[in-house]
Structure 1
Amino acid sequence: HCGHIDLVSAVYHTLLFNMLYSLLQNTCLFCFHFRVEPEEVEACVAKLNLIRKGDIIGARRLETAASISTINMHEECDSSLHLGGLYEQPKDVDQRHWTSFQLTEAFSVLNGFLKKRTAKCRRCKAKNPATTKPTFGWIHMNGLSAEQIKANIIRGCKLDGIADGDDDKSASEVEDAESPFSQGNVTSGQASNKWSKKKDELKSEFLKQQKSRSLLPSEVRAILERLWENEAQLCSFICDIQGHQPSQKNAGYLMFLLKTIVVPPTKFRPPSKGGESVMEHPQTVLLGKVLSSNISLGNAYEQRSDHSTIISRWLNLQQSINILFDSKTAAGIGQKEMASGICQLLEKKEGMFRQKMMGKRVNYACRSVISPDPCLAVNEIGIPPVFALRLTYPENSAGNVMQDWIKRSWDFVIVNKYAHSLRYR
């Protein structure tokens, strides 16, 4: 049976991190909508609806029609023109599974939409802080300038979903000269309690938007949760493309985070023996590093360590999980020589020769040295008779499994002319 490792803190999913980073770069941290025009979101939803319906040509024509309509709208400056009549929702759509061609077109439309990045939100007109990716699995949010913060606060835009982090300096300790909201001649005795409270709130908001800090998965989860509520239509398509069930779409943002790591049985990661030495399986070594980093982070929480120590140990845990999934994401000296990740093990079985060749016939060592055979069909594999008759694999049996074996054995006897006996143990 498979085991699991419960993580102390959530980490980013390695295989979905790039999409998560693109979503954050297109999400307004003030109104929690996409930063582009609402009509562009509506156009993207309409294209994905047509693709899911199977009308690929209609989706491409819609893109052309949208560009022409946008040009005419800018030229005529007609405020009565609305794109809702152009992007009509397709009716009678009841297709639960996407074909490979539909997925390719859907990813193309979605990637084209996520490339439209802008710092200023088109809805609330707020200027968002830039998010960077110092290393794979680490999201950093830069601070805004004083002029940008002043413009945001004048519009009433506040960072509600971002925590203050480890800033020990309170807003009341900041001098009035450092803030653009200072009143100069007004003393604390003359100011009313209401104005003092308002001034403290403005200073706190100024520090929050000015500070450059790392975004933790808990904060990213809060941002994605509100984005999924405000942009339900487009986010539901992201869940569809990733293969989520309809009941899971409301919490589809959780696919970007990991709280548990699956541990395969030791049967599939046996140690290798060479002489008197015993080497652990590479996957066992990587899982051990994940477990060690997880324990180290848990100890930091129990000992109430400072914020920088917790961030450092969380980054070690994120790096260990990244290497477990994909060793190409390793960063730092000596990390490139780590064992192959899960992605590298799967990539060994890919290639034009393996996947696109018609009939496959193994050699007499019964290894993966395959050669084409035009006499074999696409779904057939040629095996030498000596291995087809004698190669066995012991497996535990049960009542229903035995009946299935008997049924398959008769099919094997009828199809394979070399079969002459069937042995049960």
Structure 2
Amino acid sequence: MDVPSGTVSNYRFSFYSPSEIRALSVLEVANDAIFDNFTGRVIDRGLHDLDMGPCTDKDLCVHCGFDYLQCPGHIGHIEFSKPVYNPLMFDLVVRLLKSFCFKCFRINEVPTLVGCLKLLGFPETLLPYQPKQYIMANLIGLPASELRKLALKEMTATSRTLCKRCNTMSWMSRHLNHQQIEVKPAKETKGRINRAAKKNEELEETFEPGEVEVWAEIEALTSSNTPRPVVTFEEGVATGELDDLLESVRERLKKICPNTQKFGVTTPDLVRDMLRCVWMQDSAILRTVLPFLNAVSSKFQYATDVCFMDVMPVSPNICRWPKRMGGTPYESSVTALLSRVLTRSKRLKEIYEYLSDNNWLTSDGRLNVAAMEKQSMGDSSLALTPARSIEALNSVWVLLQAAVNGVYDMTRSVPPTGLEQRQTTVNSSKPHPGFKQLIDKKEGWFRARIMGKRVQFSCRSVISPDPNLCVHEVGVPLYFAQRLYFPERVTAFNIDKLRALVIAGPDKYPGALAVELPDGKVQNIPAGDSEDAVKRRLNMAQRLVTPQPGMHSGWPAIVRRHLEDGDFLLMNRQPTLHKPSMQAHKVRVIKAPWAKTLRLHYAICKAYNADFDGDEMNGHFPQSYQAKAELAHLSAVPFQYLAPKDGTPLAGLIQDHVIASVKLTMRDRFLTHDEYLD
């Protein structure tokens, strides 16, 4: 079998296109039932279909034939009848809606944006005008990432003025619970129109000689009166005209906002068409300001479609292993969230099938309001009137968006006001955590399972003062000393000592925890005072011998002995701000049974920035003679007296100076000759 080999040259993060998700998927999940109520087996085409991998240790994957230990898992997908917002891109969509005109669908011309585009390498011939010198002076020297951030900020934070191209007031937009977007035209006032017209005149005066002619040519190419074909990147043939899409979007905007004083709710497919209009006319600007759109443009016919979802991937079974209680399977929290998405997607599909059966949809899948009103007037036996159908469609659509949001972020899955009762959840008293909650904060996967692993051969406890210790010593409780061990090799010089430690066992201090034989086998030393345990410890001690040249290449046996006085612990207090925050201390074991804290001398606290009001410190026990030598001769406390930064002393006892000053300045204080010299 030829195994391919190679090296990774580069990598990047990107979004899957709908076609890529369908190609990677092994099946479309279409059944909202998960387990059979009588047998407990999984349902075909459900969220735990065995095509996506085994669900128990006894199952075999239908797709690859491996068991749960060998099957890597395979993804499925859920199809949506209508698009929904991509939760990861929703905030960007809301910002982009503030960046262009809702009539000509061209990006607003902002002086700072033009300056950023020029510095980012935008073609000079495509710039609407040359930015002023004072604007360029403020931008020169900024890195490309900062220029893009500033360009996006200025592009989406412009004041609502007249569009320079079509003299139309801009629109206002806002979101509701990260699930819906509302828009309405800005109120036109005489003063605002005059100020906007004056501002446009000032911009026109900034043109250099010859630029007006170039701009006139560009305007002629991008004029709304000139039909421009929409070209697919996949097929390379014309599929429509820009004017048709512009006209359709304008008509739908008028229908949702007949009254300019109130906000109208848009739908994801309308917002998607709006961004498509912008992409077809100003894709060069969007590619420059948002490079990821340039990266995904090869996957999508319109790069802005990455902000929407027509299909949703379903993670493999191994990533959401079902729980079992009394032999009955139960879905995990991730499966419960996906089940809610699937249920609402099916409801939306049923409504569309009902609308299609009544011929209430146009050829492109949009609502045919005229046909709905005409048919409802002549037929009174309809189960749903046109108004009720539209209301049901919009309600289920919003609930589907809330369910999709909940898979990624629990906080964005709250249904809008009035739709709370229609939300169907399992164990609704406590919402299921989304992907963000699973990886976020201290309880998340990264900090709890990757970054927050427990360190071996270390201890951690509260520190307390002990002036009886030397400055270079650390007091370690007996509890820690009996659990930390050092692998000491058996030689002719220490064999008697190590035999005594093995006989003492793990319960008595000083003792040992295990013996590692020359062949690599590890034997735990039996604990307890029973006759059998004592005999076994004596037998293990008698079998300890010095290294034999003819056996196991002369490799010695190793005894894992307890931490002892004179060993070194590498002490660390977080945050580790400089090198002296980690120093090697000699161990003095505190054998009092009630001792639970690590003890330090007062004079060493400055290096650690530590005090004794509840601070905790870590102690790391080296596991080799080389590490032990480095701690003794490089990292020990006597070698860390001066700060590496500027050579100032780190060790010192401030309290002693204060006490001495108080005693010296007390009233009627007289010193003897010996006291004065001391």
Common fold, TM-score beyond 0.5? yes
**What are the Cα deviations for residues 83-131 of structure 1, in whole angstroms up to 9, with x where unaligned?**
xxx99xxxxxxxxxxxxx8546633542343223425323322113322
- Following TM superposition, by how much is the alpha carbon of 1:22 offset from its aligned partner in structure 2, in angstroms? 0.6
2:135 partner amino acid? S
Kept after mapping to 2: 8 A contact 1:44/1:110: no
CA RMSD for the aligned pairs?
Answer: 4.5
Matches within 5 A, 1:153-302: 161-164=249-252, 207=258, 212-241=263-292, 244-245=295-296, 247-248=298-299, 251-275=302-326, 278-302=329-353
> Do residues 67 (structure 1) and 160 (structure 2) align?
no
Match of 1:42 in 2: 114
SS of residue in 2 equivalent to 1:133? strand
- Following TM superposition, by how much is the alpha carbon of 1:293 offset from its aligned partner in structure 2, in angstroms? 0.5
Kept after mapping to 2: 8 A contact 1:325/1:341: yes
Match of 2:412 in 1: 329
Distance 1:249 1:283, change over 3 A: closer
- Following TM superposition, by how much is the alpha carbon of 1:314 offset from its aligned partner in structure 2, in angstroms? 0.4
Larger radius of gyration: 2
SS of residue in 1 equivalent to 2:77? strand
Structure 1 portions without partners, runs of 5+? 51-61, 71-85, 88-100, 169-205, 370-384, 391-425
- Following TM superposition, by how much is the alpha carbon of 1:270 offset from its aligned partner in structure 2, in angstroms? 0.6
Distance 1:237 1:143, change over 3 A: closer
Task: Name the CA distance, whole Å, in 2 between partners of 1:223 and 1:317.
Answer: 21
Distance 1:245 1:22, change over 3 A: closer
- Following TM superposition, by how much is the alpha carbon of 1:209 offset from its aligned partner in structure 2, in angstroms? 6.0
Structure with a larger share of its residues in strand? 2
> Do residues 315 (structure 1) and 398 (structure 2) align?
yes
2:435 partner amino acid? I
**What are the Cα deviations for residues 4-30 of structure 1, in whole angstroms up to 9, with x where unaligned?**
001110001101100111101221111
Kept after mapping to 2: 8 A contact 1:119/1:130: no
Task: Name the CA distance, whole Å, in 1 between partners of 2:157 and 2:182.
Answer: 19
> Do residues 124 (structure 1) and 173 (structure 2) align?
no
Distance 1:21 1:167, change over 3 A: closer
Distance 1:13 1:218, change over 3 A: same
Kept after mapping to 2: 8 A contact 1:159/1:209: no
Instruction: Say which is worse superposed, 242-251 or 212-221, in terms of deviation.
Output: 242-251
Task: Name the CA distance, whole Å, in 2 between partners of 1:68 and 1:284.
Answer: 53
Structure with a larger share of its residues in helix? 1
Distance 1:269 1:243, change over 3 A: farther
When normalised by structure 1's length, the TM-score is: 0.55
Match of 1:20 in 2: 93
Kept after mapping to 2: 8 A contact 1:17/1:256: yes
SS of residue in 2 equivalent to 1:130? strand
1:12 partner amino acid? Y
2:270 partner amino acid? E
**What are the Cα deviations for residues 194-227 of structure 1, in whole angstroms up to 9, with x where unaligned?**
xxxxxxxxxxxx9486774221122112211111
Q: Which has the higher contact order (CA 8 A, sep 6+)?
A: 1
Task: Name the CA distance, whole Å, in 2 between partners of 1:166 and 1:116.
Answer: 23
Kept after mapping to 2: 8 A contact 1:162/1:219: no
**What are the Cα deviations for residues 178-199 of structure 1, in whole angstroms up to 9, with x where unaligned?**
xxxxxxxxxxxxxxxxxxxxxx
Kept after mapping to 2: 8 A contact 1:330/1:336: no
Distance 1:307 1:249, change over 3 A: closer
Distance 1:255 1:345, change over 3 A: same
1:120 partner amino acid? L
Task: Name the CA distance, whole Å, in 1 between partners of 2:164 and 2:254.
Answer: 31
Matches within 5 A, 1:347-362: 347=440, 348-350=444-446, 362=454
Match of 1:139 in 2: 181
Out of 80, 91, 112, the position equivalent to 1:7 is 80
Task: Name the CA distance, whole Å, in 2 between partners of 1:275 and 1:363.
Answer: 36
When normalised by structure 2's length, the TM-score is: 0.36
**What are the Cα deviations for residues 371-401 of structure 1, in whole angstroms up to 9, with x where unaligned?**
xxxxxxxxxxxxxx9xxx99xxxxxxxxxxx
Kept after mapping to 2: 8 A contact 1:10/1:217: yes
Match of 1:346 in 2: 439
Structure 2 portions without partners, runs of 5+? 1-73, 123-129, 198-223, 226-245, 356-383, 461-486, 488-519, 522-678
**What are the Cα deviations for residues 251-304 of structure 1, in whole angstroms up to 9, with x where unaligned?**
211111100100011111111234555431111000000000001111111222
**What are the Cα deviations for residues 345-392 of structure 1, in whole angstroms up to 9, with x where unaligned?**
23324569977xxxx974469xxx9xxxxxxxxxxxxxxx9xxx99xx
Percent identical residues: 19
**What are the Cα deviations for residues 15-49 of structure 1, in whole angstroms up to 9, with x where unaligned?**
11001111012211111112334x54432322444
Distance 1:3 1:215, change over 3 A: same
